[in-house]
Amino acid sequence: MADLLAIGTRKGLWLARSDDDRRSWTLDGPHLLAQEVAAVAVDVRGSAPRLLAGVQYGHWGPTVTWSDDLGASWSETDEGAIRFPADTGAALARVWQLRPDTAARPGVVWAGCEPHSLWRSEDGGRSFTLVRGLWDHPHRPDWAPGFGGGAVHTVLPHPTGERLVVAMSTGGVYVSEDGGGSWQPRNKGIGAVFLPEPAPEYGQCVHKVAVDAGDPDRLYAQNHFGVYRTDDAGGVWTSIAEGLPADFGFPVVASPTTPGTAWVVPLVADAQRVPPDGRLRVHRTRDAGATWTELGAGLPDATWTAVLRDAVCVDEADPTGVHVGTRDGCVYSSRDEGETFTLVADHLPDVLCVRAARLP
């Protein structure tokens, strides 16, 4: 068994591999050099792992490319994997999220994109179809771009049912109970400090959402100011920010195996967007947000960088690994749920996304 980290950056993709249970790493790359890789996924549901990358080719624009040999070669659809239908009058600006569905739907891959849109592939990511239920939603004209752009950046398929959860900046959390046919906003309790009171039904700038290991109705959200939890699939959200040094940040991830366990990376905001006192720290809860523990062994002090929404991930090993990429091109890995970190890579371009997988 080997462990793989796929690291998407502003100027290419790097692959880190560990053959000794995440104690040491070998770095391979760059792949797709000079291309922005804003989204990456490792699909291990087939006979061989498939790397999927949402790339920005600059002059040629964005698309999805894939590799079935761990980056030795790459393929893409001649006409582009994601193309808006002519009647939409829209063009793809960026692929923000690539999410393989469950093992029960082996060919299905979801893509969250800019402009705000959700796409479904049934051929492992070679081609995608626009999810019209979200695109045609009457709220869509009101979804404004966040600071980084207007996009669907979180896609969470239900582990057994037809529910889909998406989150977007700005727009908030939307849920479909019928596989994407119809959608409802579920933002009650999530703040929107940039909008007048009372908090609106939608329009929140939710930065990331993660699902709890023990209950698919329990979700965690890192907001543009605020960390929240819902126990009813977004019906009502409550604040769980008490005990954190700051309630701003971008990522939130949850353990895939241990209920109640999640991690965030607080930043000072709104303008600064750096770690409090320049100390890069991960904060973990083991009780669904009732309390938080600061974790920093192996993480740097006197660092004035940031961690973006998809630059933190967890793996499915035991104990759970936590992997963190920074905007100054460093990647740190923990094999003990964040208790200690080791440096995997440094001097990379701006890290945009990190994904982990266990390879046979």
pLDDT beyond 90 at 287: yes
- Specify the length of the chain in residues: 360
Reported as a pLDDT band with limits 50, 70 and 90, residue 193 is confident
Please enumerate in sequence order all residues whose Cβ is within 8 A of that of 178, keeping only pairs 6 or more positions apart, or say none: 162
Is the CATH code 2.60.40.10 the one for domain 2-359?
Answer: no
User: What average pLDDT does the structure give for the chain?
Assistant: 96
pLDDT beyond 90 at 195: no
> Which of 333, 332, 301, 328 lies closest to 317 in space, CA to CA?
333
Q: How far apart are CA 26 and CA 7, in angstroms?
A: 13
Pairing of strands 219-223, 206-211: antiparallel
Structure tokens at 104: 């029960």
Residue-wise pLDDT for 217-242, tens only, equals 999 999 999 999 999 999 999 999 99
The SS3 of residue 9 is strand
pLDDT beyond 90 at 329: yes
Residue-wise pLDDT for 92-137, tens only, equals 999 999 999 999 999 999 999 999 999 999 999 999 999 999 999 9
Reported as a pLDDT band with limits 50, 70 and 90, residue 163 is very high
pLDDT beyond 90 at 270: no
Residue-wise pLDDT for 24-70, tens only, equals 999 999 999 999 999 999 999 999 999 999 999 888 899 999 999 99
For 133-169, the three-class secondary structure string (H helix, E strand, C coil) is HHHCCCCHHHCCCECCECEEEEEEECCCCCCEEEEEE
> Which of 320, 244, 257, 239 lies closest to 285 in space, CA to CA?
244
Reported as a pLDDT band with limits 50, 70 and 90, residue 147 is confident
Under 8 Å between Cβ of 349 and 11 = yes
> Which of 323, 317, 358 lies closest to 341 in space, CA to CA?
323
Looking at residue 217, the DSSP 8-state letter turns out to be T
Looking at residue 15, the DSSP 8-state letter turns out to be E
pLDDT of residue 15: 98
Concatenating the DSSP letter of every residue in 176-197 gives ESSTTSS-EE--TT---TTSPS
Q: How far apart are CA 69 and CA 82, in angstroms?
A: 23
pTM of the model: 0.97
Domain positions in the chain are: 2-359
